[in-house]
Amino acid sequence: MERCKPPDGLELLPLAASGGVNYQGPAWYRKQFNLNETMRSKKVILHFEGIMGKSKIWVNGAMIKENFSGYYPIHIDVTEYVDFKNQTQSQFVPIIVMTKPTLQGNHKSN
């Protein structure tokens, strides 16, 4: 299992400058990880402790999950989206997460 720590949050202004002027728009996070041949016969699962706001998750160019809550963990089996035959020299799988704020009180989770 490979663990990574993405940024905890996007803050463009100091906390003291709050008052509704801190950035509230969409944000992207991209992570690439290596898979070696020993992973070919195993499941590849992504685990997110939570992604605040509405989010869409892509693996190898395919949108595989849309989530509507930042309050629950997300587990995604991405095995079918990993292509061992067509990986580049560095053998990486790109993971891209796009998130944007949701309306307050929307806690639906898919």
Domain ranges of the chain: 25-100
- Alpha carbon distance 107, 27 (integer Å): 19
Residue 89 has pLDDT above 70, yes or no: no
- The domain covering 25-100 belongs, at the CATH homologous superfamily level, to Galactose-binding domain-like (2.60.120.260)
DSSP code at position 82? -
CA distances from 79 to 11, 93, 94, 109 (A): 33, 11, 13, 22
pLDDT band at residue 77 using 50, 70 and 90 as cut-offs: very high
Question: What pLDDT score does 103 carry?
Answer: 43
**pLDDT of 14-67, one tens digit each?**
555 556 555 566 777 777 777 777 888 888 888 888 777 788 888 888 888 888
